[in-house]
Amino acid sequence: MGIKCLIIDDEPLARETIEEYIAKIPSLELVASCKHVFESLEYMNNGDIDLLFSDIHMPEVNGIDFIKSLQNPPYVIFISAYPNYAVDGFDLDALDYIVKPFSFERFLKAVNKASKAIFQKAKVVVDEPKPMHLFVKDGHKLHRVMFEEICYVEGMKDYVKLVLKERAIITHLTMKRIEDQLSSDKFIRIQKSFIVKKDEIKSFNGNEIDLYSLKEKIPIGKLYRDALMKHFGLSPD
């Protein structure tokens, strides 16, 4: 799976250049190319972006203030015509700061740095014991939730709802953040807004899943259906 990228730049020519360069790098997957930060919010709130290419000077909200506003920002490479903002960019832990105009070689150097950082973050240490719980904030309290308690997780924009056998907890997290914390051995994503514990899957057809513990049906997203079928050793129709 490629590194999911997002572009935010109000200059059409700059966006076209970045899009062209991304298309030349097989490891990059362009999710969207946006002309302002508000257009990007839908993608950013889903938590599915690994790498952001952002301009600094843009109408209404500049790139630096936008990154500061994000609770869980992705890796960022700033691309700007103003080199004097580089210090501010690196203060936000930006991976790189590219000054316009720029060559493909300069862009590739920044991408290689990003790829290394993303790979190191995603790398699993085999000897490290796998966690059996996570902590989530509910109101003013931190709750320890055991994986065994969770039936499924539902995304709700900037929040997620952890549906347990006896109760539900709504907490301020993105789906990507909660998916990273859950064990992939125990949970599977079946839709953009739903992650289900594998042991809770009683039956399913092409459109929805029945659960053991709850009398609920969870919809299956079209993009996740084939992966779900293959996971259980079935051939997609």
Q: Which residue has the higher pLDDT, 196 or 225?
A: 196
Radius of gyration in angstroms for the set of CA atoms belonging to the chain, rounded to a whole number:
20
pLDDT, residue 127, reads 45
In single-letter form, the type of residue at position 26 comes to P
Class of domain 3-122: alpha beta
How far is Cα 108 from Cα 112, in angstroms, rounded to an integer?
6
pLDDT band, residue 164 (cuts 50/70/90): very high
How far is Cα 227 from Cα 197, in angstroms, rounded to an integer?
15
- Cα–Cα distances in angstroms (integers) from residue 150 to residues 57, 165, 229, in the given order: 44, 7, 22
pLDDT, residue 130, reads 62
pLDDT, residue 125, reads 39
pLDDT, residue 40, reads 87
Least confident of 2-11, 71-80, 116-125, 190-199: 116-125
Residue ranges covered by each domain of the chain: 3-122, 133-231
Q: Whole-model pTM?
A: 0.52
What token pair was written down for 35? 């002309």
pLDDT band, residue 124 (cuts 50/70/90): very low
pLDDT, residue 9, reads 94
Angle, CA of 31, 112 and 174, to the nearest 5°? 40
133-231: CATH number: 2.40.50.1020
How far is Cα 124 from Cα 119, in angstroms, rounded to an integer?
10
Least confident of 85-89, 140-144, 145-149, 196-200: 85-89
**Residue 3: closest CA among 134, 104, 119:** 119
Q: Which residue has the higher pLDDT, 127 or 78?
A: 78
pLDDT, residue 79, reads 92
State pLDDT tens for residues 167-195.
899 988 888 888 888 877 889 998 889 99
State pLDDT tens for residues 3-62.
999 999 999 999 999 999 999 999 999 999 999 888 888 788 776 789 999 999 887 788
